[in-house]
Amino acid sequence: KTFCKKQEGLQNMSRFANVADKLDFAAEEEKTLAYWTEIEAFQTSLKLSEGRPEYTFYDGPPFATGLPHYGHILAGTIKDTVTRYAHQTGHYVSRRFGWDCHGLPVEYEIDKKLKITGRDMVLEMGVANYNNECRSIVQRYTGEWEKTVTRLGRWIDFKNDYKTMDPQYMESVWWVFKTLFSKGLVYRGYKVMPYSTACGTPISNFEAGLNYKDVNDPACVVSFPLVTDPEVSLLAWTTTPWTLPSNLALCVNNAFTYIKIIDKTRQNKIFILLEKRLSQLFPEVGKADCTDEKRAELYDVVERMTGDKLVGLKYTPLFQYFSEYTDRAFRVICDDYVTEEGGTGIVHQAPAFGEDDYRVCLLHGICAKSEDLPCPVDANGRFMSPVDDFKGKNVKEADNDICAVLKAAGRLVIKEVYNHSYPFCWRSETPLIYKAVPSWFVAVEKLKAKLLVNNTQTHWVPSFVQEKRFHNWLADARDWAISRNRFWGTPIPLWVSDDLEEMVAIGSVEELFELTGVKVTDLHKEHVDKITIPSKEGRGDLKRIDEVFDCWFESGSMPYAQLHYPFENADRFENGFPADFIAEGLDQTRGWFYTLMVISTALFDKPAFKNLIVNGLVLASDGKKMSKRLNNYPDPNIVLNKYGADALRLYLINSPVVRADSLKFQEEGVNEVVRGVLLPWYNAFRFFIQCVDRWEGLNGTPFKPDVEVSKSSTNDVDVWILASILGLVKFVHEEMTAYRLYTVVPRLVGFIEELTNWYVRLNRDRLKGVSGEQEALLGLNVLFEVLMTLTQIMAPFTPYFAEYLYQNLRQLQPLYGNTDNAVASDLSGKSASVHYCMLPAIDQSRLDPRAEARFKTLQQAVTLARIARERRHIRNNLPLKSVIVVAANEDDIEALEYLKGYFMGEINAWDVSLSTEWETLCALKVMPNWKDLGKRLGKQMKEVAGGISALTKEQVIDFMTTGVMEVCGFTLTKDDINVKREFNGDTKRFEAASSEDGSLMIAIDTTCDEEILQELRARTFAATVQKLRKSSGLVVSDRVEIFYEESGDGVVTKEGVSTLVSAAMLKHSSSTVKRIKSLPLTMELCSKQAIIIIKEVITDLDISKKPITIMLTQPCIAVDIGAVALLIDANSSANLTPPGSVLNTPNMAAMYLQSMDYDRLLSLESVDVTIDNIALVLKKGIHYFQSANEMVLSSNFSNRNTYPNLPT
């Protein structure tokens, strides 16, 4: 009872009573989130950082018409990590969430809802009504977004968010446009663009590339009779028959060879086509076994000519819809874009429906920029006048009808089905067409040189995206069509006369008021379209053009519009531009990154950002795109609630996806972060507080960490872990300054593994007080500094768990509970959140690269020893008699000599010999890199292989020194050849393993005898006791006694015959006591009054051949019956008491002592007792002890000669 009360009291005294044996990370995060809400943590952090240098961050606005997915979560995690780091390194970091409110995604949802299939239906219902519908769904999922983003642990301002539909935002977009217009960077022209007939609008090439599908389309070869010789026809092939009614020209390649043939399979008609494409007419020609005789059966060659000889030839048009172009059209032109890869080598040109068609026709005067193009297709992809034969029919549906008309006219030569990859609208899932639309352009090509220069002024991670993908995109940049023929968007603020000769760009609401007298508060189409501006040139009223901005123009204007620049916040914007940091996915290379760069270059000749992290795509586990329809990925909210945000964050940012590679999302990967990172980290913390509780309970004083104490430690493992954590701090700062998350996170995770698997394990007994309380106190100070430093440096990466640890660890700090306003609120201990604290700074004076390097060598050597064990199937708990270490580097030998005790303990070896004499102990194995050498050597590789095989040992040693050698005339380096050292000794007795670079070799002695098995029994017994302690719910500070009972054959020792376990206990008593803080004793030494905690029968051949009973009890008064008997004999002789009358007196004395109050008895130095009229003075430490262990280990123990190997 006394023992239980004492333990209960210690538990109640603990400052960490709320720390559970097992932590539900997700549930604990919810508590932390509630705490952050309670203290308004994010807002407070901003307030505390006011006045610091501002770190500018731009958050790309997502659409709120869909729910956040893993791509958003990944980008959000990267953004949150970097901005938290910036805040915790002394910056003020404003973080505002933004929403992309305009554009096709919103309109498409409304079109589906209202079953709108064309532009006319919108006009019929009214633009105001339509836009009101759009406005009503814009923020449909903002609540879900805020909930998910907040649960992720991301600190960002939702209350002060920006929306692209806000009047202030839209006004800044107007200012951007007017500035570009005033610089002569805006013009009207035609652009052939990917066009969604379902949505009735052009879309960007970027959007067109999002959704390609393999489809079967009709393809045909059509004849074009020459005007000068109607018997001869040019042949053109197309996969878009619907474009043939708009044909204006045919294009050839000047340099190619064309052929005029008589087609014997088609009534001897005469055709001209590319010679290399005869297989388009005659599939047999494309086969390898096609003979000249077979060709003669198919066709006769009339003439060969180069493409330039065809240029200028006129032909008869297929249709008469555009006969007004006859004077300049329906002729052969040329361009290098015509290839030999497909078709007939003659390409039909419909300038309104092909980007190259339009470019080439402009170049050759078929059409002009200033005039309308023959484009008989309406906004919804239906034919209109003058193509009256197919009027009202969707162009893709008209393909077969057009082919039928051409066949009837004798112009269809071939019709076939062609399987190819074709772009579909990513919103409506309908086929796109390419269509010329009148558009307003930003003249990007004028800015190309500046764009390329500005790109070099930015820092991208990874750099190859900037240097290759983005650079190439800028180098090939075309003018940007910024207008869209839609309704829900920022109207382009351009008022023009009917003849487009007078144009006025408006850059603000005030400017519009000055010119019109109309004050608007909403800048959407329905509010500004009716406003007119009087002409200054007598051209009547100027009306606003119909188009709205491409939403990419709006998001690219975000740096200015979010602050309502230049109308407000001018100083703040100008001081913070370009932004310090942005981050989005790889798909934004041609999207947001591009529009930011174009607009900022056009406005200020600067990039919009300084640093950029590009993440890759998060795919489903099968490598496919994540799809709700396919249900091929777990719901993010379920994952968050199951494993917690920290686990998901670490999983994502500790993957190839932060290097712009793809990640196949695996839920098990998130679970592995919990098991492999967070749980070991938590266990290290929990072990620390258990040791603190033990130390405080034993010493009766609170533990107060002191960095000066930890600095004073000369313990090798302390020195290493401190050097390692401080080196980690340096590394994190260096790499985060360079935005290399892909190097930082693995190093952080690796340190947690070193902390838990190395430092805590190596110091477990020391921290429990086995080496003395002073050593325990020293270790606790070191471990506290490491845990607190790790907690703070990990705060940007795992914000929840870092907060949990900080809130517990800060209770030990002197500033905990400090209310003095003169003390800064962001100091560790006083700070209400770890996220208010500044991250630890680099302390150059405490860096110790040599200490880190020594332990790297130790770890490598231990790993090699374990590899050698595995090869011989030798368990780690079986001792090794000897180990040989051979190293090429003196530093490695110095390291292992310096840490020899730890090395021997880790590999469980009795003896270790260290040597650099590898020339005598090792054989050298030359391993060429044949894969790379094969590419260089080619046919001479066999000769070089022979030369390598003939190398002498001296030549190889020389190569190992110089790193270069000549073989058969080729210079070989260490990139070409790796030299490994292999053990040159008794391979039956020893097993060896070498490092990859061959610089370190470990050879283990595989001998196993009874001496080794004895130590195995003692170790396994101790490990079993530890398991019993754990299963009983005992904590580090709980003291117990250990007893065992063994049956079975004895073994002969120099002390006589003993059981297997007893022999092992006697042989290894000192190491056993060190491991479990108590010497296991035979069951007869256990007091009958002892309270049993656990008693189990254990069957483990590593302990004993037969079952053994192990029992743990609470400490109980132990009585040395022999010593009491001697005292009684002495006293009875003095009192002349007959000897036989005192036989049971020692046992009666023992029963009396063990019935007394445990604590009271221990407080006495002696007890006076009279038994059977014999007065006895029973002394503590001679006749009775606080436990059986103390009695047996005492030099006063009357029966000590039974235990000759006991430690004193």
- Is 457 a catalytic site residue? no
Whether 349 contacts 249, CB under 8 Å: yes
- The per-residue pLDDT for range 363-380, each reduced to its tens digit, is 999 998 767 889 999 988
- How confident is the model at residue 743, as a pLDDT? 93
**Mean pLDDT score, 241-270:** 96
Task: Give counts: helices (H), strands (E), the chain.
Answer: 46, 44
Whether 4 shows a pLDDT value over 50: the answer reads no
pLDDT for 370: 63
Mean pLDDT of 397-417: 95
Per DSSP, helices labelled H in 457-530 are 463-464, 471-475, 509-516, 525-528
The widest CA-to-CA distance across the chain, in whole angstroms, is 155
Which of 66-70, 180-184, 347-351, 689-693 shows the lowest mean pLDDT across its residues? 66-70
Mean pLDDT of all residues in 1147-1165 = 89
What share of the chain has pLDDT > 70, as a percent?
A: 96
Which of 264, 625, 642, 974 is flagged as catalytic? 625
Q: How does pLDDT run across 13-63, given as a tens digit for each residue? A: 567 877 888 899 999 999 999 999 999 999 999 999 999 999 999 998 888
Q: What is the pLDDT of residue 11?
A: 45
Query: Per the residue annotation, which of 62, 79, 80, 100 is the catalytic one?
Result: 100
> Of these residues, 495, 552, 695, 918, which one is catalytic?
552
628 carries an active-site annotation: yes
Residue 870 has pLDDT above 60, yes or no: yes
Q: What value does the mean pLDDT take over residues 884-897?
A: 92
Phi, psi for residue 518 in degrees, rounded to 5: -105, 125
Alpha-carbon span 1175 to 1157, nearest angstrom: 21
**Residue 734, pLDDT above cutoff 90:** yes
Residue that wins the pLDDT comparison between 613 and 1070: 613
* CA-based torsion, 26, 31, 35, 38: positive or negative: positive
Give catalytic status of residue 592 as yes or no. Answer: yes
How far apart are alpha carbons 14 and 469 in whole angstroms?
58
In this prediction, residue 686 carries a pLDDT of: 94
Band (805; pLDDT cuts 50, 70, 90): very high
**In the annotation, is 378 catalytic?**
no
- Look at residue 1134 in the predicted model and tell me its pLDDT: 54
Question: Would residue 552 show up in a list of annotated catalytic residues for this protein?
Answer: yes
Question: Average per-residue pLDDT in the chain?
Answer: 89
Contact status, residue 597 vs residue 559, Cβ threshold 8 Å = no
Decide: 941 and 934 in contact? Cβ < 8 Å: yes
Contact 500, 371 (CB under 8 A): no
Tell me what the mean pLDDT of segment 597-617 comes to: 96
SS3 656: helix
- The active-site residue out of 628, 704, 1030, 1106 is 628
To the query of whether residue 36 is one of the catalytic residues in this protein, the response is no
Quick: pLDDT tens for 441-494: 999 999 999 999 999 999 999 999 999 999 999 998 888 889 988 899 999 999
Q: Is 543 a catalytic residue?
A: no
Is the pLDDT at 1057 greater than 80? The verdict is no
Q: What is the mean pLDDT of residues 134-147?
A: 89
Q: Which entry of 280, 349, 466, 588 is annotated as an active-site residue? A: 588
Whether the pLDDT of residue 1202 is over 80: the answer is no
Does residue 511 contact residue 477 with C-beta atoms inside 8 Å? no
Alpha-carbon gap, residue 567 to 571, rounded angstroms: 11
Q: What is the mean pLDDT of residues 542-563?
A: 95
Indicate if the pLDDT at residue 10 is higher than 50: no
Catalytic residue among 36, 61, 374, 607: 61
pLDDT digits (tens, 9 = 90+) for 315-329: 999 999 999 999 999
- What are 966-1016's pLDDT values in tens digits? 888 788 888 888 877 778 888 889 998 988 877 889 999 999 888 889 889
Residue 810 · residue 836 · CB < 8 Å: no
Is pLDDT above 50 for 6? Answer: no
Lowest-pLDDT range, 78-87, 116-125, 920-929, 1144-1153?
Answer: 920-929
- Six-digit token pair at 469? 């993908």
Structure confidence at residue 2 (pLDDT): 38
Separation CA 856–CA 686 (nearest Å)? 26
Residue 303: count of CB within 10 angstroms of its CB: 12
Q: What string of H, E and C letters represents the secondary structure of 883-947?
A: EEEEECCHHHHHHHHHCHHHHHHHHCECCEEEECCHHHHEEEEEEECHHHHHHHHHHHHHHHHHH
Measured between alpha carbons, how far is 1185 from 862 in angstroms, rounded to an integer? 43
Q: Where are the alpha helices (DSSP H) in 246-354?
A: 292-298
> DSSP character for 1106?
S
Select the more confidently predicted residue: 565 or 956.
565
Out of 99, 592, 695, 720, which one is annotated catalytic? 592
